[in-house]
Chain A
Amino acid sequence: AQSVTQPDIHITVSEGASLELRCNYSYGATPYLFWYVQSPGQGLQLLLKYFSGDTLVQGIKGFEAEFKRSQSSFNLRKPSVHWSDAAEYFCAVALGIAAGNKLTFGGGTRVLVKP
């Protein structure tokens, strides 16, 4: 079955430390890949997306993600986290027009930032 997995439910990181959030997908073809962030009580903000080309993509707020086809992964990274990065992060995939363009979300990873 097609799925998106975020193995880490919670991650706690110290301010200034690096952060990596994992995302794995299970689809027959390479999907369109997205990372969204949700601050408490807020909506979903797009951090970055990957469609094709360079497998390392840069996003907003200093985030980047690397697509690895061999591992079916699209991990999100930030070299130095800020207290304002405390939020929930969702990986999402879409198969495009052939599949109705709908997004399928992973379960999310909640990031806590220690001072």
Chain B
Amino acid sequence: EPEVTQTPSHQVTQMGQEVILRCVPISNHLYFYWYRQILGQKVEFLVSFYNNEISEKSEIFDDQFSVERPDGSNFTLKIRSTKLEDSAMYFCASTSSGAGYGYTFGSGTRLTVV
């Protein structure tokens, strides 16, 4: 069964450093997402991406965050200057044509900012 692959599974970074989280969505999917889950809290939507541009972003997704699909297979989330409160599990997801086709999630990247 096709999978969404996320790397790395764990990342520890110092406050103020830039991090890039990587995702390889399912190859024929068209919509891509990043979500995050702070420890013990609900899963929160960050951003959706379609047709090489952001289609929606939450209030969490401020100027410190950016997304890119650099080569047609990878989908990346960059945090420019990490803060302690960015520590969370970050999930990538994709879907082929929308909600009616379901979403596939990756196994997540646990980001720890120290």
Asked if chains A and B come from one complex, the reply is: yes
Using a CB–CB cutoff of 8 Å, the interface residues on chain A facing chain B are 31-32, 34, 36, 42-46, 49, 51, 90, 92, 94-97, 100-108
B25 on the interface (CB 8 Å rule)?
no
The one of B45, B91, B102 in contact with A34, judged by C-beta atoms closer than 8 angstroms, is B102
Q: Are A108 and B42 in contact (CB under 8 A)?
A: yes
Q: Are B99 and A46 in contact (CB under 8 A)?
A: no
Q: Are B107 and A104 in contact (CB under 8 A)?
A: no
Is chain B's binding surface mostly helix, strand, loop or mixed?
strand
A43 to B, closest residue via Cβ = B107
Q: Which residues of A contact B42 (CB under 8 A)?
A: 90, 105-108
Cα–Cα distance between A96 and B100 once the two chains are bound (Å): 7
Q: Are A49 and B48 in contact (CB under 8 A)?
A: no
Q: Are B31 and A44 in contact (CB under 8 A)?
A: no
Q: Which residues of A contact B48 (CB under 8 A)?
A: 100-102
Q: Are B99 and A101 in contact (CB under 8 A)?
A: yes
Smallest Cβ distance from B2 to chain A, in angstroms?
A: 13
B95 on the interface (CB 8 Å rule)?
yes
Q: Are A96 and B99 in contact (CB under 8 A)?
A: yes
Q: Are B98 and A101 in contact (CB under 8 A)?
A: yes
Q: Are B105 and A43 in contact (CB under 8 A)?
A: yes
Smallest Cβ distance from A55 to chain B, in angstroms?
A: 17
Q: Please, what's the 1-or-0 string for B48-65, where 1 marks a CB less than 8 Å from any CB in chain A?
A: 100000011000000000
The one of A46, A90, A100 in contact with B55, judged by C-beta atoms closer than 8 angstroms, is A100
Smallest Cβ distance from B81 to chain A, in angstroms?
A: 26
Cα–Cα distance between A95 and B65 once the two chains are bound (Å): 25
List 28 A-B pairs, Cβ < 8 Å.
A31-B99, A34-B102, A42-B107, A42-B108, A43-B105, A43-B107, A44-B105, A46-B105, A90-B43, A92-B43, A94-B99, A96-B98, A96-B100, A100-B55, A100-B56, A101-B55, A101-B95, A101-B98, A101-B99, A102-B48, A103-B33, A103-B93, A103-B103, A104-B45, A105-B43, A107-B41, A107-B42, A108-B42
